[in-house]
Chain A
Amino acid sequence: MKSVLLLLIVLLLVTGPAALAQDEPVTLRVLVEGGGISLQLAAAELFEEQTGHTVEFVEVPYPSVFEQLAAEMATGGSAFDVATIDVVWIPAFADFAEPLDALVTDEVAADIFPALLADGLWNGSYVGMPTWANAEVIYYRKDLWEDPDEQAAFMAEYGYELAPPTTWQEFTDMAVFFTRDSDGDGAIDLYGTDVKGAPPGADVEWMVHVLQAGSPGVVLGADGSIIVDNDAHLAGLEFYVSHHCDLGITPANPLEIGWAEGENLFFQGVTAMTRFWGHAYRLQQFDLSGGLVGAPYIGPEAVANVGVAPMIAGEAGIGSIPGPWFNIVPKSSENKEAAMAFVQFMYDQNVLGVQEPLGLSARISAFEQFAGEENYESLTALIATLNGPQTIGRPLVPNWQQVNDEVVVPMVQDALGCEVSPADALAWARGELEAMGFE
């Protein structure tokens, strides 16, 4: 009896809790990052109902998506049938992913933002189907912008109407205007805007302005050549750092401010404007009891004072860097047919993602269906930004993450230290890229 019990215990320990799980005839395992899982849950439930398959989401922290998939690729594993990956990982996993050309028909392509479509393309084949997209837009405080006294004062000082900024000059003027010591204690308590010097954030925000200045890409050209020191990169960097180094219209510690901090500063009323991702407007309207992981609850009352405008334009027009996620089907999947059907279904039912608190989608029609409705006021700005003439994805090189972490971020941080000129910072970046083997 003792030995049987011992055997049972050993078996339980060896097989672990998985042994307790009930097997399903066809189970699709989908690797997804915790923050975005909600965008696919509703559609996955429908998929289960309509196909009889079971979908098991493997929800992991952001870096683990890459680690787990890289481990699978290195060992030829087949643990996942579908993986939802960040655009920056497309080059790394392109050869590990099944081509999805059959799914990307002309009709499908016409309903996806051009920059997203380009990001999923690798060596002439679509290896990823866009699942949702995001972009940085301009958040501003409506209570300030719509205040008649502020409008009059601004008109008197700058000679044009106070409205959400559309150009670099307007953005700077308004940031200068709203930087103030409201309570007269000698310390600035409202900043016009922020600059992000901490990752994540330091990289993309500068690059957004590079595109607006007319660069055909960021850091590296389409052929992989170094363009980090072209005129547009210099103009973008000069514009970005000037708000901190020359004008002092941002909180004094940019190297401690990344996206999360910038978002909080704005929603706590410390900044009058911020550049941030389009999802935040809707997300802020849900509190933690809504079941959404990690929503920094500020509440509907504060959101009522928040306006969202398209990303500002430089000489070349509106430009931003999209942040799409793609569904890929690993070549090693043992359920490829069902996995392909799942990817197709996620595209077909993409509109369900817009109804989630994150409120994102990859399809133009899905965004347009809700744009302008209550609680979706930000979508119009997001659509305009994603359709911007200078909205272009990051370079599709396998070691982009390394380039970003070891060159782009340190370079922006150096420039934000205000002791190195933007031109010198960019020259340093070129040297580093050459040392990595780029030409």
Chain B
Amino acid sequence: MNPGRLLVLALVAFVMLLYISPYGYMMLTSFKPAEDALAIPPHILPRQFSLDSYSRFAKDAEVPRSFLNSFIVAMMSTTLAVSLALPAAWAISRYGSWPGRFFLLVALVTRMIPYIAIAIPFFALMRSFRLTDTWLAVALAHVTISLPLAIWLLAGFLEAIPSELEDAARVDGCSRAAALLRVIVPVAAGGIVVTAIFCFLASWNEFLYALLLTSVEAKTAPIVIAQFKSQYSLDWGSMTAVGTLYSLPVIIFSLFMQRRIVAGMTMGAVKG
């Protein structure tokens, strides 16, 4: 191997190490006994391997319940966001009219509004519908975050699909909606999956809206994890254990979908 390539590989390995180190440290801390997890100065490797911190998952019903809440909320918001974004993105990319382009710009602008600015009005709205502390309230809040992103991503992916495909479907007797669902969606599946993953992640990790909109029944995992730091104590061990468990579904899912994700990411890169 030539020295240049070695240098590049070393640089890549270094950057990867930088990215992975916080997660790795969290995972290693989760296997330390409580007193070791709190040691000052901290030890990178556990001096003694322990699963004590993970026992909270079994003991405390709130933790698994919060995982379930997070999953349901993330699925709901992802489904809603992708379902709404797909026709919007298709219309924008298919017809290329100026109102469509303007709409795309407005969608981007909504991403620039700080979440906290609409948090209280959104809270009031949900309360007036008696929806606070429900999955739907949190999911709707998360849609406000992921929908603009989904429209932008999907518009990029769909622009790479030749319009002749839809034309052919129409000639064969499909309505516009049927053409979109039966022809375009299967072709754009990679891009849709990538979009769905981003939407899912945005919801899975979201904290602020979940903090405001949930209290008991619909509390999501990020809120429960935050509770390990209380006014009187800081339970690093449990916090890192639950954090590790919470990150696993997303990591496993991403690994399984790796091919799709890569395919989807390059999909809009070269337009025909």
Chain A positions within 8 Å of B, measured between CB atoms, are 13-18, 21, 29, 31, 33-36, 56, 58-64, 67-68, 71, 74-75, 77, 79, 86, 251, 260-261, 264-265, 268, 270, 277, 279, 283, 287-289, 291, 293-298, 358
Which residues of chain B have C-beta atoms less than 8 A from A358's C-beta? 232
Residue of A nearest to B39 (CB): A268
Shortest Cβ gap from A87 to chain B (Å): 11
Bound Cα distance from A204 to B231, whole angstroms: 14
* Binary CB contact string for chain B from 202 to 234 against chain A (1 if under 8 A, 0 otherwise): 000000000110011110000100111111111
CB distance from B67 to the nearest CB of A (A): 14
Tell yes or no: B57 within 8 A of A by CB.
Answer: no
Interface residues, chain B, with chain A CB atoms under 8 Å away? 34-35, 38-40, 52, 55-56, 59, 69, 76, 119-120, 123-124, 127, 131-137, 211-212, 215-218, 223, 226-235, 237-238
Picked from A17, A74, A296, the residue with its CB within 8 Å of the CB of B234 is: A296
Q: Which residues of A contact B232 (CB under 8 A)?
A: 35-36, 277, 279, 283, 294, 358
CB distance A18 to B230 under 8 Å? no
Query: Interface centre among B52, B55, B217, B231, by most A CB within 10 Å?
Result: B231
Q: Which residues of B contact A34 (CB under 8 A)?
A: 227, 230
Q: Beyond A18-B133, A71-B120, A79-B127, list 20 extra A-B contacts (CB 8 Å).
A: A16-B134, A17-B218, A33-B231, A35-B232, A35-B233, A36-B232, A59-B216, A62-B231, A68-B211, A68-B215, A74-B120, A75-B127, A268-B38, A277-B232, A279-B232, A294-B235, A295-B233, A295-B235, A296-B35, A296-B233
Can you name the residue of chain A whose Cβ is closest to the Cβ of B33? Answer: A297
CB < 8 Å neighbour of B215 from A58, A63, A295: A58
| A67 to B215 Cα, complex, angstroms | 12
Provide the bound-state CA to CA distance between A60 and B230, in Å. 9
- The answer to whether A260 and B234 touch across the interface, beta carbons within 8 angstroms, is yes
In the assembled complex, how far is the CB of residue A350 from the closest CB belonging to chain B, in whole angstroms? Answer: 18
Q: A75-B120, A261-B40, A293-B228 are in contact. Are A18 and B215 (CB under 8 A)?
A: no
Contacts of A56 in B (CB 8 A): 216
A359 to B31, CA, bound (A): 30
- Distance in angstroms between the alpha carbons of A56 and B229 in the assembled complex: 22
Given known contacts A36-B231, A79-B215, A294-B232, A16 and B52 CB-to-CB distance under 8 angstroms:
no
- Please tell me if the beta carbons of A283 and B135 are within 8 angstroms of each other in the complex: no
* Chain A: CB-nearest residue to B133: A18
- Nearest chain-A residue to B37 (Cβ)? A296
Question: Please, which residues of chain B bring their CB within 8 A of the CB of A60?
Answer: 211, 215, 223, 227
B229 touches A294 (CB 8 A): yes
CB pairs A–B below 8 angstroms (26 shown): A13-B76, A13-B135, A16-B133, A16-B137, A17-B69, A18-B133, A29-B215, A33-B231, A36-B231, A58-B216, A60-B211, A60-B215, A62-B229, A62-B230, A68-B215, A75-B123, A75-B124, A79-B127, A264-B39, A283-B233, A288-B34, A288-B56, A296-B234, A296-B235, A297-B34, A358-B232
Select one of B40, B131, B212 contacting A270, CB under 8 A: B40
Which chain A residue lies CB-closest to B124?
A75
Cα distance A15–B39 in the bound complex, in angstroms: 45
User: With A and B bound together, what is the CA distance between A14 and B135 in angstroms?
Assistant: 8
What chain B residues lie within 8 Å of A16 (beta carbons)?
Answer: 131, 133-137, 217-218
A60-B223, A270-B40 known; A33-B235 Cβ under 8 A? no
Are B231 and A14 in contact (CB-based, < 8 A)? no
User: A44: shortest Cβ distance to chain B, in Å?
Assistant: 15
The 3 closest A-B CB pairs, nearest first, are A35-B230, A16-B134, A294-B233
- Among A29, A260, A287, find the residue whose CB has the most chain B CB atoms closer than 10 A: A260
Minimal beta-carbon separation of A202 from chain B (angstroms)? 16
Whether A293 contacts B226 by the Cβ 8 Å rule is no
- Bound-state CA distance A71–B223 (Å) is 17
Q: Are B217 and A294 in contact (CB under 8 A)?
A: no
Of all chain B residues, which has the CB nearest A56?
B216
Q: Which residue of B lies closest to A200 (CB)?
A: B231
Chain A residue nearest to B210 in the complex (CB): A64
Shortest beta-carbon distance from B137 to chain A in Å: 8
Chain B CB within 10 Å, residue with most, of A15, A31, A287, A294? A294
A294 and B211 contact, CB distance less than 8 A: no
CB < 8 Å neighbour of A59 from B134, B227, B237: B227
A194 to chain B, nearest CB (A): 10
A261–B40 Cα distance when bound, in Å, is 8
Distance from B161 Cβ to chain A, minimum over Cβ atoms (Å): 31
Residues from chain B with Cβ under 8 Å of A17 in the complex? 69, 134-135, 217-218
Residues of chain A within 8 A (CB-CB) of B39 are 264, 268
Q: A75-B124, A294-B233 are in contact. Are A265 and B34 (CB under 8 A)?
A: no
Q: Which residues of A contact B218 (CB under 8 A)?
A: 16-18
Smallest distance from the beta carbon of B55 to chain A beta carbons, Å? 8
- When the two chains form the complex, which single residue of B38, B133, B212 contacts A296, counting CB atoms closer than 8 Å? B38
What residues of B have a CB within 8 angstroms of the CB of A77 in the complex? 124, 127
- Do the beta carbons of A61 and B136 come within 8 Å of each other? no
Report A-chain residues with C-beta under 8 Å of the C-beta of B52: 288
Q: Measured between alpha carbons, how far is A293 from B234 in the docked complex, in Å? A: 9
B206 CB, min distance to chain A CBs, angstroms: 14
Residue of B nearest to A33 (CB): B231
A133, chain B: closest CB distance, angstroms:
13
User: Which residues of chain B come closer than 8 Å to A295, judged between CB atoms?
Assistant: 233, 235
Distance of B223 from chain A, by nearest CB (Å): 7
CB-nearest residue of chain A relative to B68? Answer: A17
| A15–B69 CA distance with the chains assembled, in angstroms | 13
Q: Which residue of B lies closest to A62 (CB)?
A: B231
Residues of B close to A58: CB separation below 8 A? 215-216
Q: When the two chains form their complex, are residues B133 and A61 in contact, meaning their CB atoms are under 8 A apart? A: no
The CA of A63 and the CA of B210, in the complex, are separated in Å by 13
A298 to B33, CA, bound (A): 11
Known contacts A13-B135, A288-B52, A296-B35, A18 near B217 by CB under 8 Å: yes
Min CB distance B65 to A, Å, is 9
In the docked arrangement, what's the CA distance between A16 and B215, Å? 13
Complex CA gap A16/B35 in Å reads 39
